Chains A and B, each alone.
Chain A
Amino acid sequence: DGGITQSPKYLFRKEGQNVTLSCEQNLNHDAMYWYRQDPGQGLRLIYYSQIVNDFQKGDIAEGYSVSREKKESFPLTVTSAQKNPTAFYLCASSITDLNTEAFFGQGTRLTVV
């Protein structure tokens, strides 16, 4: 069953804590992306990686960190420096050709309590 898997589906965090969101794909895609979704704001890019051991900041990287040690995995850490972390987080992957679509995971809803 090929695809992209995000876990957990729901996550609650206390203020001041770091949390890590998991994203795994078995599609053999080189590129992986993290987006944040807030109501009425569409999807905003946090970080992206086009190849193992390399990643770049997106439009809203402050307060987040990532790693890309394996092709299949692209975990996102939401640090205590992120002022407003409550949001829906989406991971995606694709091959690097511009004419191909990206595949999305089912998302993780993070709530700060």
Chain B
Amino acid sequence: AQSVAQPEDQVNVAEGNPLTVKCTYSVSGNPYLFWYVQYPNRGLQFLLKYITGDNLVKGSYGFEAEFNKSQTSFHLKKPSALVSDSALYFCAVRDSSNTGKLIFGQGTTLQVKP
């Protein structure tokens, strides 16, 4: 079965410091991986995706993610955190069967302190 794990419920970082939100996956076949962000009482906003090719993917709002096939990881990163980055972050993988559904991790709350 395909799955996604986000091992940290919460990540705390000081403004201006680099941040990393971790994600590991388990899939059969090629992985199609996504990161989304959610602000309180709002829907999910797409940040970036890995399909194939470069292992470093750049996305919206200065975020990037590093794909590591040997470690089956897709960690979200940002060189310099902003207070406004504080939100709930979800990693997801597409079900590679014909359903195409998105399978989500549990989510990680990012808290950036001034």
Contacts and interface: CB of A to CB of B under 8 A. Distances in A.
Contact of A101 (B9, B34, B90, B105): B34
- Contact size range, A: 20 to 34
Max count, chain B CB within 10 A of own CB: residue among A48, A92, A102: A102
Contacts, number: 58
A43 interface: yes
Question: Is the contact region of chain A dominated by helix, strand, or loop, or is it mixed?
Answer: strand
Contacts of B107: 42
Contact of A98 (B9, B46, B100, B105): B100
Contact of A96 (B9, B36, B100, B106): B100
- Contact size range, B: 20 to 34
Contacts of B104: 35, 42-43
A48 B101 CA distance: 8
B94 interface: yes
A109 B45 CA distance: 18
Interface of A: 6, 31, 33, 35, 40-43, 45, 48, 50, 56, 58, 88, 90, 92, 94, 96-99, 101-107, 109
Listed from nearest, the 9 A-B pairs whose CB atoms lie closest are A104-B43, A104-B44, A42-B106, A99-B51, A43-B104, A101-B46, A106-B43, A98-B94, A42-B104
